[in-house]
Amino acid sequence: MDKLLIQGGVSLKGEIRIAGAKNSALPILAATLLTHDTVKVCNLPHLYDITTMIELMGCLGVEPIIDEKLNVEINSSSIKHFNAPYELVKTMRASILVLGPLLSRYGQAEVALPGGCAIGSRPVNLHISALQMMGADITVENGYIKASVKGRLKGAHIFMDLVTVTGTENVMMAATLAEGQTIIENAAREPEVVDLADCLVAMGADISGQGGDTIVINGVDELHGCTYTVMPDRIETGTYLIAAAATRGHIKVKDTRPDILESVLSKLEQAGAEIKIGENWIELDMHGQRPRAVSLRTAPYPAFPTDMQAQFTALNCVAKGSGTITETVFENRFMHVHEMNRMGASIRVEGNTVIVDGVEALKGAPVMATDLRASASLIIAGLVSENETTVDRIYHIDRGYECIEEKLQHLGAKIRRIPS
């Protein structure tokens, strides 16, 4: 298992290109199961989770064709099995996204519950109850969701008790081939949900309202193939911008979308960054100044994303003043705090809020990543530390960031991967 070794104290400078969005690419790959025609998906990021999803397709009997640019052509007419095994699902919660397409297209699906997830955990429950409202017969036994439907799924009026991105996506995919109209209320509004809807529309689906909290899907008899390019990753974009701000740097990120990052860019401006934007690029310049502390509260899109709070915690560690960060989306999302305090940060947790008093610099230390975004925040902490930091268990980071050490090296960071 690899570690990252970071020598801190360098301001990030230069230009990098942003990869395709993992959280768009995964549901779009699942959506290819809805047609027997070939779907070509472009701008996929080079990530473990993408490889896992393509492996999962292989388990179902599909043989994806991948070119040198990691564009994938998928023709699911060769599908033989309708079972997503635990071995793959346990490594990636997004595997649940094949449930809706398999059930809608083939009338059956068997998907392992996501790793260690008891059925009481609400998001999976929402997928199941929504599909049951559409006429599916679903049982949960031996750790598997076993679903079937006689004939076609039926359109239904579904109110999501909780805003859930994958729940919205699963129901939206299932509804494309259902009989009649499906209305999803309290739907997730994330750009990645819109990206999936736009791909489904390119495949012949009848969908309106994506990007708002009510999505209307009129079922069609069949979908067809298309070529679709995955949107840029807004979380990767934000992570590099925050890293540059924390290190008092000056960077430009290209092949991105400023229009879906407004909440993050406004917080970076509050931190003292000068931000310039174009149609597909963002430039951030701290003019060598130490950032100012910011306070924020996470909430579903278009509010501040939960996937960026750990990175802002790292920025606040070395900022002027104090900032409070309140997490409203996920519990247990402050696992990075203990590691940062070991590096000399001054952070205290009060319920679902962290209060950070900025210090001049952190001190390098061996730290351990606990989840994907926490890993990114520990790398930022390492970049703003005196002397050396090692980040262990970086398989988390490889799930969500394409070639992170190469991109940071390109911006001047002293970072390299070493064997544990």
Contact criterion met (CB below 8 Å) for 210 and 198: yes
Per-residue pLDDT tens over the stretch 336-355: 999 999 999 999 999 999 99
Q: Which residues of 89-121 are buried (b: 16+ CB within 10 A; e: fewer)?
A: bbbbbbbbbbbbbbbbbbbebbbbbbeebeeee
Q: Does residue 249 carry a pLDDT above 80? A: yes
370 pLDDT tier (thresholds 50, 70, 90):
confident
Whole-angstrom distance between the N-terminal and C-terminal Cα of the chain? 6
Per-residue pLDDT tens over the stretch 36-76: 999 999 999 999 899 999 999 999 999 999 998 889 999 99
CA gap 311, 381 in Å, rounded: 9
CA gap 305, 333 in Å, rounded: 13
> Among the residues of 134-220, which ranges form H helices?
165-176, 191-202
Which residue type occupies 100?
Answer: G
**Average pLDDT score over the chain:** 94
Order of all β-strands in the sheet with 296-297 = 296-297, 322-326, 353-357, 346-350
Catalytic residue among 117, 199, 317, 403: 117
Segment 253-257 shows an average pLDDT of: 98
Contact criterion met (CB below 8 Å) for 102 and 33: yes
Q: Does residue 273 carry a pLDDT above 60? A: yes
Burial of residue 161 (number of CB atoms within 10 Å: 0-12, 13-18, 19+): exposed
Integer angstrom CA distances of residue 12 from 110, 250, 403, 409 = 47, 6, 16, 9
Segment 192-206 shows an average pLDDT of: 98
Segment 272-287 shows an average pLDDT of: 98
Residue matched to tokens 């599908």: 79
Segment 274-285 shows an average pLDDT of: 98
Q: Which helix (H) or strand (E) holds 223?
A: none
CB count within 10 Å of CB 388 equals 15
With a pLDDT cut of 90, the percent of the chain lying above it is 86
Residue 119 is predicted with a pLDDT of 43
Segment 243-252 shows an average pLDDT of: 98
Residue matched to tokens 């919205």: 168
Instruction: Mark whether 117 is an active-site residue.
Output: yes
Residue 113 is predicted with a pLDDT of 86
Per-residue pLDDT tens over the stretch 78-131: 998 999 988 888 888 889 999 999 999 999 999 998 764 444 455 689 999 999
Burial of residue 291 (number of CB atoms within 10 Å: 0-12, 13-18, 19+): buried
Share in percent of the chain as helix, strand, coil (round to 5):
35, 30, 35
Q: Which residues pair with 391 in a beta bridge?
A: 4, 367
Per-residue pLDDT tens over the stretch 138-196: 999 988 999 999 999 999 999 999 999 999 999 999 999 999 999 999 999 999 999 99
Residue 121 is predicted with a pLDDT of 52
List all residues 6 or more positions away from 222 whose beta carbon is below 8 Å from its beta carbon. 35, 177, 204
List all residues 6 or more positions away from 30 whose beta carbon is below 8 Å from its beta carbon. 53, 94, 97, 98, 100, 101, 173
